[in-house]
Structure 1
Amino acid sequence: MTVMAADVDSIRIAFDEGSLTTLKIVIGAILFGIALDTKLDDFRLALRRPGTIAIGVVAQFLLLPALTFCLTLLLDVRGSVALGMILVACCPPGNVSNILTHRARGDVALSVSMTAVSNVLAIFLMPLNVAFWGKLHPTGQDVLRDIDLSALDMLLEIGLVIGVPFAAGITIAHFWPRFAERGAKVVGPIAFIGLGAVIVAGVANNWEIFLDYIGVVLIAVLLHDALALLIGWTIARGTRLPASSTKAMTFEVGIRNAGLGLLLVFTYFDGLGGMALVAAWWGIWDIIAGLAVAEVWRRRTRAPLAEQVVR
């Protein structure tokens, strides 16, 4: 174990109060944009496909965190890096998964339904997952003990960041669908541009730390992201889902809302070095890897399927 790797547990990423407030607004806007593009029919569709949705829920909230835990042990990463990987694995998907599913000519209706259901469930399951796997980890538990993480506090924060904008967006989408349709086209892209700007600004303000320590998390994030995509693909193939649904499942499990994870790192973990680096780099690499996979599928699919446009 190098000195640098050991030190990653002790560094803190500088992130002022104004930047944290901006990040909260951006994450809320992302969830608001997802909700504007979500209809109550998406939940009804989920009820009509309970088996498929259940497969996705198990993959996202049970298999991914559990296998992530195993990966951290296999890689023998430091406590803060392990916690960062666990935190990201417990995050819900964002609407990037819907975009990638559409680009790959997959089952967009399933993707949207799973995103909606997963974000609602994440309000309750995410803090429980983080607390459970973090306290179980041999090196991560020491970090959590020093921080004294409260699953209830995290639940309230996630409920505020996800639940409030999500409820507001769905309400608008239900009563003013045309306004919501136009708003979703604006809010979503602007929010993701805002998230990118916040991450870039954070990296720029901590450039020396980023250069010194990015190597500590680089391979871990690459392998972790590949594992997440592989879990989605494997469970879809193993349960014999159609090809279009396999694409949706792959991205729903493989694409995580790392921006939410980054927010929680600065809210509850005081910008803990390894966690912040994992969340920031995941947010960048996840999109790159997802676009690459979507492009490969798009080139192999000659024509879009009818189910892609059925909502």
Structure 2
Amino acid sequence: MTSPHELDSVRLNFSPDDLLLLNLALALIMYGVALDLRVKDFKYLAKHPKPFFLGVLSQFIFLPLVTYALVLVMSPPPSVALGMFLVAACPGGNVSNFLSNLAKGNTALSVSLTGFSTMASMVFTPLNFALWASFYAPTQELLREISLDFYEVFITVVLILGVPLLLGILTRSLAPTFAEKAKKILQPLSILIFAGFVVVAFAGNFDLFLQYIALIFGWVLAHNTVALGTGLLTGIVGKLPLPDIKTLSIETGIQNSGLGLVLIFTYFDGLGGMAIITALWGIWHLISGMGIAVFWRKF
């Protein structure tokens, strides 16, 4: 029988060419997301500070906190716990705007939060990951063994998220007609691009993926459910209108696990527990997000 702790010693094979492809794919996805961002979306945040503030709290403070609590309760292997902390530290996923619109949520709030969280992730992703992973002794020890350079992580996030985001916003401002045409092609392709992302990541490691998927799915299910619930509860306690509550739940429960995979294969040598839980999260959050969006569309 496969032991969960075997995941700590598993390494997934990934070539430099594959990693370059994943970096380019993620940058393209972020460029497509940014084509929908306008200056007025950020003005929306200033005019509606309460849902924005609660959305930021939910994503950058509450989600890492409840992830830490979940790790304490479930006691997964250190490499899996490290993957959970990394997913929680990533910004919102590229399909959250589509899902928020499908759910009849507040699309303007969703777009604004996605843009802000992606820019803020250049600081908050490495900071939150380092902070919460250091609070849990097994992951703290694992980080010490790996000797992660958090400045390098910061630079990586800037290059694959920040630069494409700024280019997309500039394109939208300077060439709105082109941006409108381009986003109709790029945005629907985002899900397919990410699916290809995961396929590439695991093409040479399919046996390992099948071997451990049953072990890890329970952790992914619990983590994603808690993430969606965190956004939902934040909106309810904050007494927000229903469309805003839907959006906060989706923005908190749909994370940019593509960024997580890039960081894992760049800095963690394809550490098995981290890579498998992050990739499986990337698949599952699309299913759970679509399900909850279709359900909420009725209300």
Q: Is the 8 A contact 1:9 1:78 kept in 2?
A: yes
The Cα of 1:191 is off from its aligned counterpart by 4.0
* 1:201 Cα deviation from its structure 2 partner: 3.2
Give unpaired runs (5+ residues) of structure 2: none
Three-state SS of the structure 2 residue aligned to 1:240 is coil
The 8 Å contact of residues 26 and 191 in structure 1, kept in 2 or not, is answered as no
User: 3-state DSSP class of the match of 1:256?
Assistant: coil
Equivalenced residues, count? 299
The answer for the alignment partner of 2:67 in structure 1 is 68
Give CA deviations for 1:57-101 in whole Å, capped at 9, x if unaligned: 111011100110110111010110001001001111123111111
Identity of aligned pairs, percent?
A: 39
Which residue number in structure 1 is paired with residue 275 of structure 2? 276
TM-score by length of 2: 0.97
Per-residue CA deviations over 1:97-141 (Å, capped at 9, x if unaligned) read 111111111111111111111111111111000111112212111
Q: What is the deviation of 1:190? A: 2.9
Contact kept in structure 1, 2:13 and 2:204, CA below 8 Å: yes
CA RMSD of aligned residues (A): 1.2
Partner amino acid, structure 2, of 1:200: V
Q: Report deviation, 1:215.
A: 2.3
Q: How does 1:185-200 map to 2 (within 5 A)?
A: 185-200=184-199
Query: Which amino acid counterpart does residue 212 of structure 2 have in structure 1?
Result: Y
Which residue identity lines up with residue 237 of structure 2 in the other structure? G
Give the match for residue 171 of structure 1: 170
CA separation in 2, counterparts of 1:16 and 1:118?
Answer: 30
Q: CA deviation at 1:3?
A: 6.1
Q: Decide which moves more: 288-297 or 208-217.
A: 208-217
2:292 aligns to what? 293
Matches within 5 A, 1:154-169: 154-169=153-168
The residue identity in structure 2 corresponding to 1:151 is F
Superposed counterparts of 1:1-311, under 5 Å: 4-298=3-297, 300-301=298-299
Q: Within 1, Cα distance between the matches of 2:2 and 2:103?
A: 43
The whole-number CA distance in structure 2 between the counterparts of 1:211 and 1:251 is: 28
Q: Give the direction of change, closer, same or farther, for the CA distance of 1:191–1:99 in structure 2 (3 Å limit).
A: closer
Deviation string 1:210-255 (CA, Å, 9 cap, x unpaired) is 1221223110000000000000000001111001111111111111
SS of the residue aligned with 1:13? Answer: coil
Q: Secondary structure at the match of 1:8?
A: helix
**8 A contact 1:147–1:269 mirrored in 2:** yes
Q: Which runs of 5+ in 1 are unaligned?
A: 302-311
Kindly report structure 1 stretches of 4+ aligned residues shifted beyond 6 Å.
Answer: none
**Aligned position for 1:306:** none
> 1:146 and 1:204 mapped to 2: Cα distance?
28
The more displaced of 212-221 and 165-174 is: 212-221
Q: CA deviation at 1:202?
A: 2.7
In the alignment, the residues of structure 1 paired with residue 293 and residue 263 of structure 2 have an alpha-carbon distance, to the nearest angstrom, of 29
Amino acid at match of 1:48: K
Moved more, 222-231 or 210-219: 210-219
CA displacement at 1:184 relative to structure 2: 1.1
Choose 222-231 or 245-254, whichever is displaced more: 245-254
Structure-1 separation of matches of 2:201 and 2:26: 15
